[in-house]
Amino acid sequence: MKRRLLSGLLLGTLWAASADAQNRYIVRANGGLAAVRLVCTLLGCNVAGGLDGSLGQVFLVTTSSTVPATTFLNNLVRQLGIVDAELDLTASISDSGYTVPPALTDSAPVDYFGVMVPHGYVNQPAQQIVRSSEAQNTFGVKGAGIVAVIDTGIDPNHPALQGALVPGYDFTRNQYGEGDETGDVLLTSGPVIDPSQSLWVSDNKAALVSQSTAAVVDGNPQLSEFGHGTMVAGVIHLVAPGAKLMPLKAFRADGTGNTSDILRAIYWAVQNHANIINMSFNLAAYSQEIKNAIDFATLNGVISVAAAGNQGQDALVYPAAYKNVISVASTTNDDQRSSFSNYGSDLVWVSAPGEGIVTTYPFGTYAAGWGTSFSAPFVSGGAALMLDCGGSLLMDLLIFQNQSDGAQAVAHAKPLGPDLGHGRLDILQALTAWRSSLGVLGIL
């Protein structure tokens, strides 16, 4: 609790002023806040806030939009005490939409670890393909630890997720809470979405509703990724219903977010005891500071999982391409690479189903989505099941640069060719390998 309060104090003392309309820079300084403030006195900039919680070395600095960014950066990095600096770029969430899958209309209620959910959610093809239910039953696990979800937020009132959430933070508004993304929609009157209708995510609309029943957010280009975080959380919960979810809202409802908010979210997750970080997004460009933050997470035994991206290319995208991140591509239910999924041996660690994934959606509803965003949380959930197998401190074995036993356990997948890394995720195989490695180490 002390650590969480300290992180919050550092965030709260500096983030009163908005920097949205200004040029923004991420700055690392040896001398901490005092050094950055001194530099800003010399260069005419402002310190908007700290980005790395209690570490106190990385800050968001702003200037007037009339100051040329390249000129300012060149001057900034020459100042005494400044280690490095980069532009605070915009990251994005992007997924693809197709026809509604049959599982989405299978709404018969079933009990899932004490909560009533639709049958199609629990027994959808993807759940069977990755064999998560088999893994749960074989090893008597339901997931453990905390999975931080850096995304658009999570609906804290969704019946399936209510008992799974721990306190998080909304970095888009600088406030504590569950990062409730339903606050992005201003209600006028009547229901937002008819819970009896089937929803699916589209690349150009927030939600399409069957029978032509429109959601409030339907067709609003400013809310094109509304619901994304709740959907990602629902996949993790499906695989690991015993794990806790930490909502870290770094993206607005239109699917955009600043690098600085993502940076704050990573440090927040580590300093508030998350075990796994799910990142279903791509950065606009390589960021050294995001790499530093993920390195910090790895050194603290936190597992980082990221979506490989939906451009259908053999290309490096970040954070997925950082070496200590599990990068996840998307596959069809027939174990083929999804046409939209990025691929390549230098990018992909493993793949998982990412088409027609039925999951939770805001306002107590369910939706289906397509994209690597919905493949990554299958791996995050699988890691939470592994944590339940092996004890609270064993996940620090998953330091991928060292090709540890834990990493190889995740890599026990169905081979699909070199462009998809170790193949398609098989959680039963992964847990079997993980338990075996713990036995060799004498832990079990």
3-state secondary structure 315-354: CCCCCCCCCCCEEEEEECCCCCECCCCCECCCCCCEEEEC
User: pLDDT at position 400, please?
Assistant: 38
Residue at which a domain ends, from 88, 120, 145: 88
Residues making up the chain, counted from first to last: 444
Rounded CA-CA distance 153/249 in Å is: 5
Which residues pair with residue 90 across a beta bridge? 258
- Residue 17 belongs to a domain: yes
Domain span at residue 281 reads 102-436
Q: Does some domain include residue 442? A: no
Assess whether 333 and 283 both reside in one domain. yes
Residues 152, 118 share a domain: yes
For residue 298, tell me if it sits in a domain: yes
Residues 61 and 111 in one domain: no
Question: Is residue 143 a contact partner of residue 241, using CB atoms and an 8 Å limit?
Answer: yes
Pick left, alpha or beta for residue 365 (phi over 0 → left; psi -120 to 50 → alpha; otherwise beta). Answer: beta
Last residue of a domain, one of 88, 110, 128: 88
Does 58 map to a domain? yes
pLDDT at 43: 96
Domain-located, residue 213: yes
Return the half-sphere exposure (C-beta side, CA atoms, 13 A cut-off) of residue 222: 4
Is residue 420, in this structure, part of any structural domain at all? yes
Do residues 32 and 86 touch, judged by C-beta distance below 8 A? Answer: no
Question: Residue 74's domain is classified under what CATH number?
Answer: 3.30.70.80
**Do 253 and 311 belong together in one domain?**
yes
pLDDT score, position 125: 96
Do 271 and 158 lie in a common domain?
A: yes
- Phi and psi dihedrals of 63, rounded to 5? -135, 170
Q: Which CATH number do you get for residue 397?
A: 3.40.50.200
What confidence score (pLDDT) does residue 404 get?
Answer: 42
> Structurally, how many domains does the chain consist of?
2
**pLDDT at position 436, please?**
72
Q: Do 54 and 124 lie in a common domain?
A: no
Domain boundary among 88, 115, 146: 88
Residue 410 and residue 34: Cα distance in Å, rounded? 44
Which pTM does this prediction carry? 0.86
179's tokens: 């990062």
Name the residue among 400, 444, 402, 410 with its Cα closest to residue 430: 410
Cα–Cα distance measured from residue 60 to residue 66, given in angstroms and rounded to the nearest whole number: 18
pLDDT at res. 46: 95
Do 186 and 305 belong together in one domain?
yes
In a shared domain, residues 80 and 111: no
Strands 168-170 and 175-177: what pairing?
antiparallel
- Residue 421: the pLDDT is 85
- Which residues share a beta bridge with 369? 357
Evaluate whether residue 443 is within a structural domain.
no
Based on the domain organization, do 302 and 267 belong to the same domain? yes
**Average pLDDT of each block of 10 consecutive residues along the chain (444 residues)?**
36 46 91 94 95 95 93 95 93 67 88 95 96 95 96 93 95 85 58 43 33 35 73 97 97 87 97 95 92 94 92 94 94 93 93 93 86 95 88 43 46 74 90 71 52
Residues that are catalytic: 151, 228, 373
For residue 95, tell me if it sits in a domain: no
Same domain, 260 and 404: yes
Q: Are residues 196 and 235 in the same domain?
A: yes
**Structure-token pair, residue 383:** 């890691």
Are 275 and 322 members of one domain? yes
| Residue 207: predicted pLDDT | 35
